[in-house]
Amino acid sequence: MPPIRTAFLAVVFASGLAGTAEAASFPCDKAEAADEKAICSHLALNDLDVEMATRFEILRGMLPMGGNAKLRDDQEAWLKERRTCAADVVCLKQAYEGRLTTLRAVFSEFAKQGPL
């Protein structure tokens, strides 16, 4: 990856995570669903949620319109799947790990395309 792109992505990703370790990507005080309550109650899940949301937002800003629409559709489908875990922490962790693997792969493929 070109040094400029590496530096840009590092800064963007780091700034997206700074100060967010204590808050999920949604307002915990308004969490009603079992999956959201579990995420807010478990720091490890909360951190996975923040990483997932940060990567998703960065990719949304970087992908072309068609890729952005697919990313959004995939995210909505994933959120429905996550909801089926309810408060099962193991299920939620596996769901996040799977989604993060996908987002990291998309991020990696985009980064291979060259400088911004």
Is 16 inside a domain boundary?
Answer: yes
For residues 15 and 23, the model is more confident at 23
Whole-angstrom Cα distance, residue 114 to residue 49? 28
Is 116 inside a domain boundary?
Answer: no
Q: What single letter denotes the amino acid at residue 48?
A: L
Is 52 inside a domain boundary?
Answer: yes
DSSP H helices in 18-88: 34-41, 43-62, 65-83
Span 2-21, average pLDDT: 44
The count of structural domains within the chain is 1
Q: What is the DSSP letter of 29?
A: G
Q: Is the pLDDT of residue 69 over 60?
A: yes
Q: Which domain holds residue 58?
A: 3-111
3 state DSSP class of 116? coil
Is 36 inside a domain boundary?
Answer: yes
Are the C-beta atoms of 50 and 23 separated by less than 8 Å? yes
Is 30 inside a domain boundary?
Answer: yes
Band of the pLDDT at 89, cuts 50, 70, 90? very high
Residue listed under structure tokens 């089926």? 84
Band of the pLDDT at 7, cuts 50, 70, 90? very low
